[in-house]
Chain A
Amino acid sequence: MTGGHPEPGPGVGSGPALVGIVLVSHSARVAQAVAELARELAAGGPVAPVAAAGGTAVGGLGTSAERIVAAAREVDRGAGVALLADLGSSVLTVKALLMEDELPPGSRLLDAPFVEGAVAAVVTASTGAPLAAVAASAADAYTYRKD
């Protein structure tokens, strides 16, 4: 999906696989837009696989377990999958799927703000960092004060 970069960095080709990122929002447009934002801010080298899982299966506001599972499978490269969720049912559905082992091995819900955490996670994952480092950098976004 992001192939064709002239200067492959770590994690491309023979390097270790990149951590995949799934963005779960109540809104399909929010998930898509945040995915785009994070991808663009991480560009300049290879970008970690990012998938948006927003809205319900019928296109309304809410959460679709099927979309989350499909998105996680899509971005799974064997290095783990980091999931970020926005509100209530997004968080609870991911947690329920993790409790039931329905997500790829090495999947983890990140405790992070949605937009800032997504950017931090995608940028970090794109360097080839392991899941623990991706999680730490996303959680770190909570410490950035705005006043």
Chain B
Amino acid sequence: MRDAEFFRRWMAAAAAAVEREADRLTELDSPIGDADHGSNLLRGFTAVRAALEAEPVPAAPGAVLQLAGRTLISTVGGASGPLYGTLLRHTGKALGESAQVSDAELREALSEGVGAVARLGGAAPGDKTMLDALVPGVAALGTSYRAAGSAAEDGALATVPMRARKGRASYLGERSIGHQDPGATSSALLLGALADVAEPAGAR
């Protein structure tokens, strides 16, 4: 079973990963986006870390993710704010108010969160978006957290030959081909951070 502390560690690990990779995310966002994905997410996750450390700290897993999601919507300023915010808030809502959640409940809740992201953005796998990492990643949670992290990373790599059909990159048409999607890349970081806190034995 996973408690609120586990979810705070996940968000802290995600913030650390975003901090580590912010420059790379912004580099990926330069040829096909507006070159702010790294800095936007860094601002958002820095605020998430601060919000989760401020008193009173949330006592339930669902409340941790809802607070994190709300913070991202408020602070990011770009499209990744409402998208990641919706992912975490809907996942948090699906977890309900229990103080402890099982891995199966988390898997189910994350699926709902990913569904909410798909509805919000009107996107599907293959559109070269964060869903290309989230959908295979969450599907692989049935195997293990580590498998989910790897599947999300593979999903992000698989966006390279895709043509963008959503967001600013879609205006580029053919020119969006050959670049890895920054949103799929940051989504892989989020699931990689989950794997790191859930299965630390396999962590780097």
A interface vs B, CB < 8 Å?
Answer: 56-57, 60, 62-66, 87-89, 92-93, 95-97, 99-100
Is B175 interfacial (CB 8 A cutoff)? no
Nearest CB on B from A22, distance (A): 16
Q: Which of A60, A64, A99 is close to B120, meaning CB atoms less than 8 Å apart? A: A99
Query: Is A88 a contact partner of B167 (Cβ separation < 8 A)?
Result: yes
Complex-state Cα separation, A63 to B89, whole angstroms = 19
Q: Can you report 11 residue pairs joining A to B where beta carbons are below 8 Å apart?
A: A57-B77, A60-B77, A65-B81, A87-B168, A88-B78, A89-B76, A89-B82, A93-B81, A99-B86, A99-B120, A100-B70
Query: Is A99 a contact partner of B81 (Cβ separation < 8 A)?
Result: no
Query: Is B77 a contact partner of A88 (Cβ separation < 8 A)?
Result: no
Is B30 interfacial (CB 8 A cutoff)? no
Query: Is B73 a contact partner of A96 (Cβ separation < 8 A)?
Result: yes
Query: Is B120 a contact partner of A96 (Cβ separation < 8 A)?
Result: yes
Query: Is B86 a contact partner of A63 (Cβ separation < 8 A)?
Result: no
B78's nearest neighbour on chain A, judged by CB, is: A89
Nearest CB on A from B129, distance (A): 12
A95's nearest neighbour on chain B, judged by CB, is: B120
Question: What is the predominant secondary structure among interface residues of chain B facing chain A?
Answer: helix
Binary A-proximity of B114-140 (CB < 8 A = 1, otherwise 0): 001000110000000000000000000
Query: Is B77 a contact partner of A92 (Cβ separation < 8 A)?
Result: no
User: Known contacts A63-B77, A95-B82; can you find 5 more A-B pairs with CB under 8 A?
Assistant: A56-B77, A60-B77, A65-B74, A89-B79, A100-B70
Known contacts being A95-B120, A96-B86, is A65 close to B73, with CB within 8 Å?
Answer: yes
Known contacts being A63-B81, A64-B77, A99-B116, is A92 close to B89, with CB within 8 Å?
Answer: no
